Amino acid sequence: MTGYDAAEGLTPYRDDSGYGAILFDRARVQQAAPDWFTPGYWGAQARPVDSGGRGGAWFVDAPFGQAVLRRYLRGGLVARFNRDLYWWRGGERTRSFAEFRLTREAARRGLPVPAPIAALYRREGLRYRAAILVARLDGVRSLADRAAVAGDGAPWEETGRLIARCHRAGLDHADLNATNLLFDPAGRGWVIDLDRGQFRIPATGWRERNLARLKRSLLKLRGQRPVAEVERDFARLRTAYDRAWERGY
């Protein structure tokens, strides 16, 4: 995680349920408020995101532009009794602040990621809740959606080159799945949801884990497509990835 810089604003706050802070981009907003991270505050200007993730995400039409509001939610068995609380280990180590700064660093390194707008944590005793606002990408669809509709016409080669580019920059995506890769009609791609990711020295182990995670998600989300078809398309992606990696970009 990168440290504080002059382009960041930091606003502490306290409310009835606890206290916390908001980290925000001064170039996008002059000040940030806790209410921004509550969908109800936006009323009809907030619409649930209906694909990908675990829920807990909304498209927001805000004065500072179109954005995506995402709450940090747990998955797996633990979500049955703890949906959104995480152990407190300090404000700088909250999921929201870490992702905000990682995404800013990814953009600084020239990677195609949505611009982070603001990140919030609210501490409640020894645990906390968190949320983040990022800029919405216009006219994009996920690789999962594109594969379901277009099959072998989905941007497989573009995906391979995009991932190689991220790996070359050292971005280890903690959840590289087919819903976290977005493409516009022209084939330009973006990587989203960098929660728990990190920058590392490029190495075979974590790069292969990223690719294996993506392949599992494509198989899981294949719908009516035969497994053999998904395997063939992933081979196209992998070939493009290997070629891009060997060329150094």
**Among this protein's residues, is 175 annotated catalytic?**
yes
Q: In 3D, which of 207, 29, 50 has the Cα closest to residue 134?
A: 29
Q: What is the residue type of 167? A: H
| Alpha-carbon 89 to chain mean position | 22
- Give the C-alpha distances (Å, rounded to integers) separating 94 from 22, 107, 120: 11, 20, 9
Measure the CA–CA gap between 225 and 209, rounded to whole angstroms: 24
Q: Where are the beta strands (DSSP E) in the chain?
A: 8-15, 18-25, 46-48, 57-62, 65-71, 86-87, 116-124, 127-135, 141-142, 171-172, 181-183, 189-191, 198-199
Please identify which of the residues 84, 138, 175, 193 carries the catalytic annotation: 175
Q: Which amino acids are annotated catalytic?
A: 175
